[in-house]
Amino acid sequence: MSQAATQEVTYKAKGIQRHVIYWGASTDKAAFFRYDRSGGAVSKTVKAWRNLWFHSGDRVVRDADGHYRFIDRMKDSIRRRGENVSSWEVEQTIQSHPAVAACAIYPLPSELGEDEVAAAILLEPGQSLEPVDIVRHCEGQIAYFAIPRYVRILGQMPLTENGKIKKGVLREAGITTDTWDREAAGLKVRR
């Protein structure tokens, strides 16, 4: 992998691939496929294993020293006007604001094609914040094209059973009545 190019992390592990490829009768193979049939995860398992490689769904970049740095989950990638936006990096920037308790960055369809960057924000108790404050906080810290166009300040985040934010719920909701639109407000970001 070249420097500065992002790529998905893949693994090829000897011994594990046989569970996916062969329908043997050993106990470990039978348990693996019994779980898949009862849990409905067969298609996800098959999708993760392609050409005998396990695809993690993580995007990484290799630096000049040869170290890999996590960029984002593949499913959370956002493509805005020809640029790749890391939801993880935007989330880290917004969460560094002292009034922000939690943040989720997700794509919404753009009228120009590809995606627009949207942010759902949960504030710390007793804090108040305007969407324009989020934009101003991001300026100078991340690329101008990664600054969210849409900002929603929520009273409660949709969470999974183990406490992760359900980005799919936010994506499906789309632009709601409480969504602030930076472009409609006429706010230009500094480049």
Task: Specify whether the CB–CB gap between 8 and 56 falls below 8 A.
Answer: yes
Residue 7's pLDDT is: 59
Tell me the domain boundaries of the chain: 6-73, 77-181
Structure tokens of 79?
């493509």
Q: Which residue from 155, 143, 154, 146 is spatially nearest to 115, judged by alpha carbons?
A: 146
Residue 136 CA, distance from chain mean position: 22
pLDDT in tens, 42-76: 566 667 777 767 777 776 777 788 877 766 666 66
The model carries a pTM of 0.67
Which listed CATH number (3.30.300.30, 3.30.1960.10, 3.40.50.150, 1.10.10.60) goes with 77-181? Answer: 3.30.300.30
Q: How far apart are CA 130 and CA 100, in angstroms?
A: 11
Q: CATH top-level class for 6-73? A: mainly beta
Q: How far apart are CA 33 and CA 145, in angstroms?
A: 44
